[in-house]
Amino acid sequence: MNLYKWEMKQMFRTKVFWFIGGAFIFLMYLLHSEDLIKGGVGGYELFLNLCRDFRSASLFFTGIFAGLHITGAFDDRRMQAAVMAGNSRAKVLLTKFASFASAIALYFATSVLLPATIGFIRFGTVCEDGSFLRNVVARAPLYLLTEIAVCSICFIISMLCKKPGIAVIVNMVTTLTASLAVQFIALKPWGENVLQYLPHGQNAIVFSDMSNKNCVLALGVCIAFIALVIMGSYAKFRKEELK
């Protein structure tokens, strides 16, 4: 816990965390300012639109954040310092991933949940296709988990890259390519059968399918993918020569 607190303090001191957070908030409020001020859509529809736009924005912003936050930690010797202080490499890596996931959660809370809450207060909580509890309260954390899983590919890429600038470029190219690949597969007759077993697919499926079966599947798929990312990152970090 002390290492996590230290990691979060380090993250809060970086300009990139606040810059990306500000960019998320500015973009989301800019896109939905008219809906928040004048209405035109219900609170539930506003919530869904915010989630969709957050997904699109994260393709760009998360790649930048991961490259500067993770690869930059090697440049600034923060990860090396944490290991030299007596922490195991596994603990340092898990803490770094936890801070990365926490940042995404904070961005989601400020740029999606906060304006959505304003929308629910102003325009009501009626959900046409089910209960508010399932469609909002349950969907929000599940959707956030799919976002963390999707963005975690940027984590391992940033662990592999030596320079922050290169990591940022590779992250953005990879996330954009993955998004296009998902859209291509979705057009195929067999597309949904494949995408339901990928966090990138579940990131879209949870908008239309919040059945118990799919919720459990999405949870399992995302946890498994994140575990693979962490194991792959650790395999690299374990062999890293700390200077």
20-34: per-residue pLDDT in tens? 999 999 999 999 888
Instruction: For residue 130, tell me if it sits in a domain.
Output: yes
Res 75: pLDDT: 65
Confidence of residue 241 (pLDDT cuts 50, 70, 90): low
Structural domain count of the chain = 1
Instruction: For residue 96, tell me if it sits in a domain.
Output: yes
Residue 115 pLDDT more than 90? Answer: yes
Residue 242 pLDDT more than 70? Answer: no
Res 116: pLDDT: 92
Residue 160 pLDDT more than 80? Answer: yes
Of the two residues 109 and 42, the one the predictor is more confident about is 109
Q: How far apart are CA 191 and CA 201, in angstroms?
A: 9
Q: Look up the domain containing 146 and give its range.
A: 2-238
Confidence of residue 66 (pLDDT cuts 50, 70, 90): very high
- Give the angle subtended at the CA of 140 by the CAs of 185 and 130, to the nearest 5°: 90
Instruction: For residue 228, tell me if it sits in a domain.
Output: yes
Confidence of residue 125 (pLDDT cuts 50, 70, 90): confident
Residue 79 pLDDT more than 90? Answer: no
Instruction: For residue 221, tell me if it sits in a domain.
Output: yes
User: Could you tell me which residues come within 8 angstroms of residue 92 by beta carbon, excluding any fewer than 6 positions away?
Assistant: 3, 79, 82, 83, 237
Specify whether the CB–CB gap between 199 and 225 falls below 8 A: yes
Instruction: For residue 243, tell me if it sits in a domain.
Output: no
Instruction: For residue 213, tell me if it sits in a domain.
Output: yes
Rounded percentage of the chain residues whose pLDDT exceeds 90? 55
Confidence of residue 237 (pLDDT cuts 50, 70, 90): confident
Residue 184 pLDDT more than 90? Answer: yes
User: Could you tell me which residues come within 8 angstroms of residue 203 by beta carbon, excluding any fewer than 6 positions away?
Assistant: 55, 143, 146, 147, 149, 150
Q: What is the pTM of this model?
A: 0.92
